[in-house]
């Protein structure tokens, strides 16, 4: 066997999504050779997922022609050759448009390949005494075998051109009996769990993912965030992502003794439980934040602005953000002035307009509305496109307005007069009332969200559509 020495570490993508071949630098002299088979920092820099291997296996094959596979396993694998040489064949057995895609290559000790969960893996040894080594990111167990997906080595659709014909190769009886591609049940993707799925955002996420069997929705009855059993009774190996749509949002009530305890329990303690679970099982955690983490003194708030919350609600949301930020795979979607299905400012104003009431509305707090359908769509966009992890400001676009401006728009579109709305300062509105302090400016800089390629809908256009739908319901 001849090994090519001193290659540069490099990645080569293949026709199967997520399957990547790596050139490994091998250093040799008269004594033999040495290589770094797995080097996390360098591999991550090349784009290899941080798949957190937990087990290292070696398959020794005494004779050339030994053939194993095609097995799709419920974990990721990083494969290389320790000694000898193999012909590898990989077939995508995951649900989706790439199902049935095939890639083949010869590998020697100077190469490695990353195989994602659900991609069928097979190899044939081309030399005697070939040792094949692989890292996996889950522990093997007898129960796990029930989650494998198999394809026959001789499948006519995959049409793998084995260097040594299968009738001359060494195969196991089990591998000879695996199904053809037409009879293979594709391996489904891991699930996404939405908690807090019965609130405004939860309902929007249900609509966003309607008909998607990989999304699991859990309201308080199905997943109690304060109950440890909710976290220990689930097999988290079956999940890739948790979307946290639960929150305590009673801003004024949070200033009371009872409300303060409830706000910290939901917005911090429960979030810490989710974060701990995400870290332990290498899950992506999506969390929704608030403009209330800022004091509202800046003209526009960027994602990296330091926290300056004014009240208890804002303090709990800031603490929750800090907790989520330590999860390696996280998205914090920071939003403001949320409007969805349920009681909200727009619905209240439309009701007042219909009853001929002329309200006084705050005119020195400014920001943009955010409709839950767009939050749900943006979350889906982040997950689908694999956007960089981190915090993203997200509201609807368009002009920054005050609450009084928006109330006037609602009145006009509800058949009343804009002049029925009177502007009043925050100080005057809450005079002699028990209320939480509020940021005066809630405008969020949307540049980072826009950089992901998401088309941010205009707030005024969404308001018109929302009011029309409300009127149609009536």
Q: Which residues are catalytic?
A: 71, 134
Task: Give the span between the Cα atoms of 194 and 432, in whole angstroms.
Answer: 40
**Local structure of 155: helix, strand or coil:** coil
**Local structure of 316: helix, strand or coil:** helix
8-state DSSP, 458: B
Task: Give the span between the Cα atoms of 114 and 75, in whole angstroms.
Answer: 11
Which residue has tokens 């609450």?
403
Task: Give the span between the Cα atoms of 94 and 127, in whole angstroms.
Answer: 31
Token pair for residue 77?
A: 């694998």
CA atoms lying within 13 Å on the CB side of residue 139:
2
Helix, strand, coil: what percent of the chain each, to 5?
30, 25, 45
Cis peptide bond N-terminal to 123, omega within 30: no
Contact status, residue 175 vs residue 69, Cβ threshold 8 Å = yes
Instruction: Please count the helices (runs of H) and the strands (runs of E) in the chain.
Output: 13, 25
Task: Give the span between the Cα atoms of 360 and 124, in whole angstroms.
Answer: 78
Pairing between β-strand 32-35 and β-strand 26-29 as defined by DSSP bridges: antiparallel
Phi, psi values for residue 348, rounded to 5°: -65, -45
- List of residues 6+ apart from 385 with CB closer than 8 A: 452, 453
Token pair for residue 225?
A: 């965030």
Sign for the pseudo-dihedral over CA of 274, 369, 364, 415: negative
CA atoms lying within 13 Å on the CB side of residue 260:
7
Total count of residues recorded for the chain: 474
Q: H helices within 246-402, ranges in order? A: 257-264, 270-281, 312-324, 345-354, 372-385
**Which residues in 188-342 belong to E strands, given as ranges?**
191-195, 215-218, 239-244, 284-290, 330-335, 338-339
**Local structure of 306: helix, strand or coil:** coil
Task: Give the span between the Cα atoms of 377 and 398, in whole angstroms.
Answer: 18
Q: List, in sequence order, every residue forming a beta bridge with 80; answer none if it has no partner.
A: 112, 133
**Local structure of 300: helix, strand or coil:** coil
């Amino acid at each position: 066997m001849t090994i090519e020495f001193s290659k540069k570490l490099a990645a080569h993508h293949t026709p199967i999504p997520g399957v990547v071949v790596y050139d490994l630098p091998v250093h040799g002299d008269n004594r033999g050779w040495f290589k770094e088979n797995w080097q996390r920092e360098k591999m991550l820099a090349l784009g290899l997922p941080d798949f957190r291997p937990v087990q290292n296996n070696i398959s020794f094959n005494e004779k050339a022609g030994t053939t194993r596979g095609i097995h799709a396993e419920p974990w990721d694998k990083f494969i290389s050759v320790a000694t000898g040489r193999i012909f590898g064949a990989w077939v995508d057995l995951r649900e989706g448009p790439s199902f049935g895609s095939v890639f083949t290559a010869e590998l020697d000790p100077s190469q490695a390949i990353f195989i994602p969960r659900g991609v069928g893996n097979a190899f044939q040894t081309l030399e005697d005494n070939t040792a094949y080594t692989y890292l996996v990111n889950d522990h093997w167990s007898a129960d796990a075998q029930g989650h494998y997906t198999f394809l026959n080595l001789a499948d006519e659709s995959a049409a793998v051109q084995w260097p040594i014909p299968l009738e001359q190769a060494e195969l196991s009886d089990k591998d000879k009996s695996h199904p053809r591609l037409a009879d293979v049940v594709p391996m489904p993707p891991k699930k996404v769990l939405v908690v807090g799925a019965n609130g405004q955002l939860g309902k929007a996420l249900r609509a966003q993912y309607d008909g998607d069997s990989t999304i699991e929705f859990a309201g308080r009855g199905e997943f109690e965030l304060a109950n440890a059993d909710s976290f220990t009774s689930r097999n988290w190996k079956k999940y890739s992502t948790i979307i946290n749509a639960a929150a305590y949002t009673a801003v004024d009530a949070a200033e009371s003794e009872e409300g303060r305890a409830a706000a910290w329990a939901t917005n911090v303690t429960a979030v810490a439980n989710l974060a701990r679970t995400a870290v332990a099982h290498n899950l992506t955690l999506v969390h929704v934040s608030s403009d209330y983490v800022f004091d509202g003194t800046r003209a526009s708030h960027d994602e990296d602005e330091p926290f300056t919350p004014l009240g208890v609600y804002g303090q709990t949301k800031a603490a929750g953000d800090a907790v989520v930020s330590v999860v390696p795979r996280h998205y914090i979607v920071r939003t403001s002035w949320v409007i969805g299905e349920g009681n909200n400012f727009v619905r209240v104003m439309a009701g007042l307009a219909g009853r001929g009431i002329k309200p006084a509305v705050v005119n020195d707090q400014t920001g943009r509305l955010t409709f839950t359908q767009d939050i749900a769509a943006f979350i889906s966009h982040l997950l689908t496109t694999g956007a960089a992890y981190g915090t993203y400001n997200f509201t609807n676009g368009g002009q920054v307005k005050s609450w009084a401006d928006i109330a006037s728009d609602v009145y006009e579109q509800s058949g009343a007069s804009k002049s029925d709305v009177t502007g009043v300062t925050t100080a005057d509105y809450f005079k002699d009332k028990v209320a939480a302090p509020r940021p005066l400016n809630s405008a969020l800089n949307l540049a980072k969200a826009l950089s992901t390629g998401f088309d941010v809908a205009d707030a005024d256009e969404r308001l018109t559509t929302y009011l029309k739908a409300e009127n149609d319901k009536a």
